[in-house]
Structure 1
């Protein structure tokens, strides 16, 4: 595999602390944990997803889950082909772009043949299902989407998700749905995709919606028992098991799921309203309003003074404000990802004011 550094940026709700969660870590025995993950933790995840706990594998964050899926299903350069295994030469990926970096960079590192389905501002950042279907080839192994979408915060409709499940079923390919932002939704929440069919794989974590990326707990859900065994084998080779402490904290957090998410949901609605009010008055920007998550992807209506590079430089160095430029996601830097979940409300409002100033400032 050929690794390259990728952009990693803050894009979650405000980070929680042990104290803010009301937790006191007990005198845990620091043994090898259950390889699939703590049973009670998997049961909590399964009950929300409408699957069984045997359909859940705990991983090191969503990033760990995506790595396991890509490396086990897409193969790689230099891997000797064994019966039933995939290699870069005989596996093909269809992936919606822009996307979270791991969904793009890990297949690239493997050397997998990839077809990108680019969503557009004009289409409301909705994937074209006909284009996805047309991209599926005889050697396609996996179709990969995010919902809610990263970096735009848009979501597929229930009808579109159901149709995508049907398309991939009919064509005999796996469907990966990265649901990292699913727990914060401003429209009726979609079902966990993996609950809809046994060829569907869902990935999620506690990093984004719950604001605890530091414990590195994510999960893979699939009702396909053979896939689960493969994913477990991959996890065992990578880490054997997860952290006893991390999974204990995750269990306590998910035991309070409704209480924690209820407060977070209300706060994120209020912050989204602040962003909406700002963009409605900002004549230099336009957007597609998010329906989930804590990020949005505004577009500049015209290039700012002294060009795009100068804009991002003065935004950071002069105004102390940081956003994710469009090239991180394979698009023009006239787009940028704005996260409104992590800073305080005051910091968010100050950051939006700084963006408006930097768009007009003619300093280099």
Structure 2
């Protein structure tokens, strides 16, 4: 299997430990262990008791019943536990789901540009991948009419990223239902990576698993729930695809581990507190960035729709590309961004604006200094 590097991951693998000011990540300010313990109102007693009672073995292979119950409660439809399978983050969820669905020679339509595994894995599995492009003039949304033109009788799968990484745009419930209608006309599956849950305008967000029997959803506790350390995600599909994923998991991960399952279950059980915390961080930090952007003639920001990932466009001199600029920013000022070129996007960068506020403010100040030197 010939796999290209994932641009954003390759960049972070090389450079993130060199940063003094990291405003590149797409997690909402990761919880400290102290914050984690405070969620239950008992100083973490329920978490400590749960961990203390665990045998340090593989744990529940597919995820504990308590974990599956918490995941099922995130959706509006009744989802049987056997359709919920624990994975190694959303990355593992996408890998297992795509391996379960895609066959050599299949026609796959993938939203583009976005997180590369959603189109590179199907291509590596032997599918013919066509891009369903997002358009800046449409607010970085795709055009439903273009999807209608791309769909074929033999289309096996449509891949979407809702919300978009790194843009931060969210497909509306109307758009999701239109995608489902087009997919159902040929019996195609729809895989929706939903790791970035919007924290506002939630009435206009719908999970594909709640509206389509051939919907497949992937998610994790890493981004919206601020617990990437647990490395726990999940995939939900119909019975047939879930059974195939169940087999594949034995090849790719076995289990998520007893302690990690405890951590993920605990966070999901107390998600109201986590989401309240994170909504406050998101709103405060978004206002900080909007105020900063208003003072930056070389910056345009597509304001994210209540999710933790975002994208800024740079007006750089013709002889300067975004990767060179971001490297210079890192080496001279210690500030980490991910160049837009690592997502196949125009000149700009992923801005992790949901870092801790003091980190964001320092990073923006230094970024502004670097941009001003271009004038």
Same fold (TM over 0.5): yes
The 1:48/1:189 distance shift into structure 2, 3 A limit, reads farther
1:67 aligns with 2:95: yes
Give 1:350's match in structure 2, choosing from 359, 362, 368: 362
Does the CA-based 8 Å contact 1:304-1:359 persist in structure 2?
A: no
The worse-fitting range, judged by mean Cα deviation, of 62-71 and 233-242 is 233-242
In the TM superposition, residue 171 of structure 1 has moved relative to its aligned partner by 2.1
Matched-pair contact (CA < 8 Å) for 1:152–1:290:
yes
Change over 3 Å in CA distance of 1:126–1:151 after alignment to 2: same
Following TM superposition, by how much is the alpha carbon of 1:120 offset from its aligned partner in structure 2, in angstroms? Answer: 1.9
Partner Cα distance (1:27, 1:65) in 2? 28
Match for residue 313 of structure 2 among 299, 316, 319: 299
Match of 1:91 in 2: 106
Q: What is the alpha-carbon distance in structure 2 between the residues aligned to residue 134 and residue 214 of structure 1?
A: 42
- Report what 1:81 is aligned to: none
**Is 1:145 paired with 2:160?**
yes
Relative contact order higher in (CA < 8 Å, ≥ 6 apart): 2
Contact 1:41 1:250 in 2 (8 A): yes
Equivalent-residue separation in structure 2 for 1:237 and 1:112 (angstroms):
21
1:83 paired residue number: none
Higher deviation after alignment, 32-41 or 154-163: 32-41
Residue in 2 that maps onto 1:4: 4
Contact 1:304 1:311 in 2 (8 A): no
User: Quick check: 1:92–1:112 contact (8 Å CA) kept in 2?
Assistant: yes
- The change in CA–CA distance for 1:18 and 1:356 in structure 2 (over 3 A counts) is closer
Q: Gaps (5+ residues) in structure 1?
A: 75-85
How far, CA to CA, are the matches of 1:185 and 1:322 in structure 2?
Answer: 27
1:226-285 deviation per Cα after TM superposition (whole angstroms, max 9, x unaligned): 111111111122222321111111111111011111111111111111111111222211
State the shift of 1:331 in Å.
2.1
Shift of 1:186: 5.3
Rounded Cα–Cα distance in structure 2 between residues aligned with 1:150 and 1:189: 19
| 1:313-344 Cα shifts (integer Å, max 9, x gaps) | 32111121111111111123x121111123x2
Q: Which has the higher helix share?
A: 2
- Quote the residue 2:251 is aligned against: 237
Shift of 1:104: 3.0
Deviation at 1:44, TM superposition (A): 0.9
Q: 1:1-364 alignment to 2 at 5 Å?
A: 1-6=1-6, 7-8=8-9, 9=12, 10-22=25-37, 23-24=47-48, 25-50=51-76, 51-52=78-79, 53-74=81-102, 86-87=103-104, 90-182=105-197, 184-185=199-200, 188=203, 190-222=205-237, 224-300=238-314, 302-304=315-317, 307-308=320-321, 309-332=323-346, 334-342=347-355, 344-362=356-374
Decide whether aligned partners of structure 1 residues 339 and 186 sit closer, same or farther in structure 2, where only a CA change above 3 A counts. farther
Normalised to the residue count of structure 2, the TM-score between the two structures is 0.87
Q: State the superposition RMSD in angstroms.
A: 1.9
Distance in structure 2 (CA, Å) of the matches to 1:106 and 1:295: 22
How far is the alpha carbon of 1:306 from its aligned partner?
5.0
CA–CA distance in 1 between the matches of 2:306 and 2:58? 36
CA distance in 2: counterparts of 1:193 and 1:184, whole angstroms: 17
Cα 1:286/1:186, change in 2 over 3 Å: farther
